Amino acid sequence: FSPEIPPFPLLAAGGGADAENSQLSPNSLDFQRPEFSPSPPPAPVDPLYTPNPDGTIPDPPEEVLEALRILGYNSFRPGQAEVVMRILSGLSTLVVLPTGTGKSLCYQLPAFLYHKNFGAVSLVISPLVSLMDDQISGLPRCLKAVCLHSNLSPSQREAAVEKLRNGRAQILLLSPEAAVGSGLFSVLFWDGFPRVAFACLDEAHCVSQWSHNFRP
């Protein structure tokens, strides 16, 4: 037994004959789906510096040293200056340093300068919410960051995105799921979202410890 389903209205532009044709049966295929064209992502951010002609990384200029002082440090620790200059030169970089040796500064200083010069936001992808909270609580006073993860309510996520849109945060910390998700998590394609300077994959050793398909 198949009951007869009455026609249902579909939204149609215009009037007259168009309005009459807007009454289509559920089984009818004689209608057009609305076209959807997602907004293109913002243009990439140009590096602040370029490698030397021989391929080596330049020494930190005064702008970088001044940013270091603004963040509350008098000098770089071993390895930090090269990492910072590689990121500011637009080069992919793998950083393997023991805990407590200042890895966070390696993305915080570039994030500060990219936001200062271009209004860009820097992404930090972290596997654990507790690590995101630790990163935010340990930020220098001149840096602001927001989080996006599944534990936030919709209003909290919207508030975080609004801070990014208004230029009140330089860093976005998000989970791997948020980075590849859809819906509200697809903030990188929202109108008005700032350009992305670079992405930092925090705790990258988890990929080898937990296998490549443990998280997206």
- Quick one: residue 134, left, alpha or beta (phi over 0 = left, psi -120 to 50 = alpha)? alpha
The pLDDT score that the predictor gives to residue 30 is 57
Long-range contacts of 99-108 (CB under 8 A, 24+ apart): 101/77, 102/77, 104/135, 104/138, 105/71, 105/73, 105/77, 105/80, 106/80, 107/171, 107/198, 107/200, 108/71, 108/139, 108/140, 108/143, 108/171
Check: CATH 3.40.47.10 for 62-210?
Answer: no
Q: Classify residue 199 as exposed, middle or buried by CB count within 10 Å of its CB (0-12, 13-18, 19+).
A: middle
The pLDDT score that the predictor gives to residue 130 is 80
The pLDDT score that the predictor gives to residue 97 is 86
Q: Helical H runs in the chain?
A: 17-20, 62-70, 80-88, 103-118, 129-137, 154-165, 176-180, 206-210
**Residue 93 near residue 83, CB atoms below 8 Å:** yes
Low-confidence ranges of the chain (pLDDT < 70): 1-42, 181-191, 207-216
**Residue 114 near residue 196, CB atoms below 8 Å:** no
Could you tell me which of 24, 23, 35, 115 has the C-alpha nearest to residue 67? Answer: 115
The pLDDT score that the predictor gives to residue 87 is 98
The pLDDT score that the predictor gives to residue 25 is 52
Long-range contacts of 9-16 (CB under 8 A, 24+ apart): none
Token pair listed for 95 = 């950083």
Q: Which helix (H) or strand (E) holds 173?
A: strand 171-174
The pLDDT score that the predictor gives to residue 91 is 96
The pLDDT score that the predictor gives to residue 182 is 55
The pLDDT score that the predictor gives to residue 135 is 85
